[in-house]
Structure 1
């Protein structure tokens, strides 16, 4: 058998696939093509699905790499999340394109001023870039539902100037005109669709360019499991593949758990038997299967921390998730300095905890 030395684990675990990992992203060819076809007719695309259905991975690991390989158009793709500062994050991504006749150190501030000045601010920024005839700009807003949490915080603070509304208006105006080639693609959990009514024009835009991720077929799920292994020439037993498909069942929200179990199984197989036999059922059961792999990993990581770092860990994880009145969990992006204040810890202590997981 081939040794696995020098190769990164082909499975990402709980995180989403990135654009540079398209070579190990399998099972979504039809969905990628559907979204690219929709992009030809609509400048505002919303990729929707339940939590854990693979929205971010589909866009970052599938759609964006395929779009970049196109020969007819030259796409400048900028990826962002709203977090706690949607306008600043948008300005930063535009500044990093480096296409304005402004000193690099002043670009972000200059762009921010244009964005704040008018609803057409995004159009004005891109217009000043003087793009070529085949150039296109695509702004990808991942985890768009973060904006709704930010919106609620604005209301709680009784802010008169809604930056979340400005952000949405900039996107809508940019995709509603045809003079400047600006496109927007967002990913959002489908259970947040009703929150879109807080923003004038957003429900209509989402309805026009909506793509609801369909349930994956048995064949596609098999490709998700076997594709990355075959890509690097590593063997996996059919018994394990069938067991994984059985354990996954029909739950689309379990795809991150599947990837995490595969990542842990691969690590175990590499460590103990990579040169002896294919990755198989015994390796999978050794890490606790899909039902226990995540909790076992978390328990292992937590118990490897000393008492002080366990205290920091609890406060950090509590700070990173917010539960709404409807019982929906949503990520709460928090700067390192703020996590340090919350956990009453030094930066290196918070980083050490994060790296453990």
Structure 2
């Protein structure tokens, strides 16, 4: 609870305020959550007592970088409002992003399960086959809801950068301007960051985690795991981690032991679409654009794609092609 007149009331904050199909409500929920973060950062800076001028400057830069990161996410989410839908309701082979939160159909069960997994453990592993929609689930499903809760979803791709530096640079692109933070351990860096968030937390999402095995040397990988261990084990650090990994690399997470005691303890396998999910994905996005399908056509599409397990890329390609070939007709 807070008596701060600047803070949004609790009935306006929460990932549960994001409802697929309600663009305005979802944008408002994300904005309310972002405002909680802005207020907490401002209060933290007001209370801070740092004698060393250089450290004080770095703390100010960190606060500005964190604010800019959250503002960027908020701007993304606000790009589409009711009445401003354009282009196609389908993504073809493109991933969904945070601005697609209100039109991201078919994954409500996966979103709810992942949010529960994140709440119950410091580390969650999301794994699936290539093309199953892992990145879309995270960016359009999880990140908007995390932000609407007043927490910070930090999205990281390691590429060839050692993991702990990738995390730091995701927050502070100009990390070299803050030498003390640059050389700080990952745990200490995150302590400095989360102190700015008050009672809220940061959820660090490492996408394509297999790149630590495919693009990085064993030394780089060991450096990251060594930095990660104390950050994971610190009970006072308000951080959650999500590793996203392709199914064929899931077993390789066992090589992270013993630093990460049990990387498989809190995992979620994202499956292809069920028939019900596929129907929702076919029908609902088009409906928002004023286009309806004949029921028999939807049945035929489902049958052609395979009723038991329907792969997201094939479904999106078929729907995109069908929508583009309709010749302006609404049916």
User: TM-score category by the smaller chain?
Assistant: 0.5 to 0.7
Deviations along 1:168-197, one digit per CA (max 9) or x if unpaired, are: 333343222111101111211121122223
Q: Does 1:18 align with 2:97?
A: yes
Moved over 4 A (4+): 250-253
What residue in structure 1 maps to residue 183 of structure 2? 113
After superposition, residues 1-357 of structure 1 pair within 5 angstroms as 7-70=86-149, 74-87=150-163, 88-95=165-172, 106-107=177-178, 110-114=180-184, 121-129=185-193, 130-151=195-216, 154=217, 162-201=219-258, 204-249=261-306, 252=309, 254-269=311-326, 273-274=327-328, 276-278=329-331
CA distance in 1 between partners of 2:306 and 2:259 (Å): 35
Q: Which consecutive residues of structure 1, in runs of 5 or more, have no partner in the other structure?
A: 97-102, 115-120, 156-161, 279-357
Q: TM-score under structure 2 normalisation?
A: 0.67
Are the structure 2 counterparts of residues 38 and 240 from structure 1 closer, same or farther at C-alpha, using a change threshold of 3 Å? same
CA distance in 2 between partners of 1:176 and 1:250 (Å): 44
Deviations along 1:222-266, one digit per CA (max 9) or x if unpaired, are: 111112112333223323322221122157573112212322332
Aligned partners of 1:172 and 1:201 also within 8 Å = no
Larger Rg: 1
State the Cα distance separating 1:199 from its structure 2 match: 2.4
What RMSD, in angstroms, separates the aligned Cα atoms of the two structures?
Answer: 2.6
Q: Secondary structure at the match of 1:46?
A: strand
Q: Secondary structure at the match of 1:208?
A: coil
Q: Secondary structure at the match of 2:235?
A: coil
Are the structure 2 counterparts of residues 231 and 60 from structure 1 closer, same or farther at C-alpha, using a change threshold of 3 Å? same
State the Cα distance separating 1:30 from its structure 2 match: 1.4
Q: Which consecutive residues of structure 2, in runs of 5 or more, have no partner in the other structure?
A: 1-82
CA distance in 2 between partners of 1:263 and 1:69 (Å): 30
State the Cα distance separating 1:22 from its structure 2 match: 1.1
Aligned partners of 1:75 and 1:138 also within 8 Å = yes
